[in-house]
Structure 1
Amino acid sequence: MTRPLVITDCDEVLMHMVVPFAQWVDEEHGVIFRMEDTSFANALKRKECGTPLEAAEVWPLLDGFFRTEMGRQTPIPGALEAMAAIAGHADIVVLTNVGPDHQQTRADQLAALGLAAPVIGSRGGKGEPVRRLIDEREPSVAIFIDDLANHHMSVAAEAPQVWRLHMVGEPAIADKVPPARHAHARIDGWTAALEWILARLAENIPAPDPELV
């Protein structure tokens, strides 16, 4: 077995995203972002009339933000310090759904802040890329951190031995997001999250098989 592995999302886990994104779409596109439930798409409405954007209009806005506006993003409090502490006990991989086109920009963004970890720019469910990482690295224990419930469900299906931490580090939306049913814990602040992660790494055992619990 190799070194423990922590696989972490970026937006709303390491970096603030929805707040700078909301500022940008307001300023540049006449769109208001106001999250009232768990639907990101439904949160985007035209300023002039209040009608929601069509689903096909959402990704081009996200793509535009990641292409030119990552400089607006700032770290979630405690995130980079936590990553530095974790690096003493485990390898770190950033698995982010910005897609391959923005993978290098995201790696550069994090490296400039002192986090020189490998970055995978994926699309869709994160279960398969997590399983591939587990197969390649064979860690003694692995932890997955993400703000979206669907990714916890995907990882639970593809790599159930991975510990799953649900974190929504952006206070502006944290209370709109219920705990992910397929996560082992929900912690939104890095002080408590680091304690939980280090405890799992110290135990150094895979997550329990839900069928055997």
Structure 2
Amino acid sequence: MAELLDISHVRLTKRPLIVCDIDEVVLEFLTPFRDFLRSRGHDLLPRSFRLHGNIVHLNSGEAIADDLVSALQEEFFLRQAEWQMPAELAVETLAELAGEADIVFLTAMPPRHATVRRALLDRFSLDYPLLASEEAKGPIVKRLQAGRAVPFAFIDDIWRNLHSVREHAPDCLLVNLMVNADFRALAPDPGEGISKAGDWTDVAQIVRAHISR
């Protein structure tokens, strides 16, 4: 049986809870990842909503092998502090929402990269508790909420994460946000019951309407 993700360092109050993804939500990912790839002789083409098959050799335009995609992702996460920046208005909006709710970051990345990510977030005063896991997000959000009778919201760019939370925490507000416009246009519709936000101004309006009930 897999060991449960340790959430003991997350201290919640009696206020509403906002659980938020990082890549393509709080931090830009696709734009800096494309810049990183170009520095390595590759490119990311917005042809479909996936990385594999869309990362190509810069000169030939041919798609690179899947194992090289994985290796480049690993190198990028190791060097994320050199490339990633906050999404527009993310820092300011989260600071405002933090006056009304508890905020927890839940990032889908190997836990071995959590220390680098923690330092990067702290650099931008994004000092909210961080959980890094490759597990399904629904059970984690359910554990965080722990049956408390307060409103809670989950913000993510990937439909399967939103659906996972809907399955395990059906009372949670679900918000879909992807800051890269090119790939957002290629993303599958997340489905009914999920609020779509175009930017952090939209997120603030949607979340406030829910947690202020």
Query: TM over 0.5: same fold?
Result: yes
Matches within 5 A, 1:28-39: 28=40, 30-39=41-50
1:206 corresponds to: none
Q: CA RMSD in A?
A: 1.8
1:190 corresponds to: 200
1:164 corresponds to: 174
Indicate yes or no: 2:80 matched with 1:69: yes
Matches of 2:55 and 2:39, distance apart in 1:
14
Alignment CA distance shift 1:87-1:120 (3 Å)? same
**SS, match of residue 15 in structure 2:** coil
Alignment CA distance shift 1:81-1:139 (3 Å)? farther
CA contact under 8 A between 1:3 and 1:140: conserved in structure 2?
yes
CA contact under 8 A between 2:80 and 2:117: conserved in structure 1?
no
1:134 corresponds to: 145
Greater helix proportion: 1
CA contact under 8 A between 1:156 and 1:182: conserved in structure 2?
no
CA contact under 8 A between 2:138 and 2:161: conserved in structure 1?
yes
Indicate yes or no: 2:14 matched with 1:2: yes
CA contact under 8 A between 1:76 and 1:169: conserved in structure 2?
yes
Q: Which letter maps to 1:113?
A: F
- CA shift at 1:139, angstroms? 5.5
Tell which deviates more after alignment, 112-121 or 97-106: 97-106
Q: Can you list the C-alpha shifts for 1:5-62, whole angstroms capped at 9, x where unaligned? A: 100011111111111111111212x221112121222221223433323333322211
Structure 2 unaligned blocks of 5 or more: 1-12
CA contact under 8 A between 1:45 and 1:52: conserved in structure 2?
yes
Structure 1 unaligned blocks of 5 or more: 204-213
1:146 corresponds to: 156
Matches of 1:183 and 1:54, distance apart in 2:
37
Q: Can you list the C-alpha shifts for 1:128-155, whole angstroms capped at 9, x where unaligned? A: 22122122x7351110000011111111
Matches of 1:132 and 1:59, distance apart in 2:
30
1:55 corresponds to: 66
Indicate yes or no: 2:38 matched with 1:21: no
The share of aligned pairs that are identical, in percent, is 26
TM-score scaled by structure 1?
A: 0.87
Alignment CA distance shift 1:182-1:125 (3 Å)? farther
Matches of 2:73 and 2:137, distance apart in 1:
18
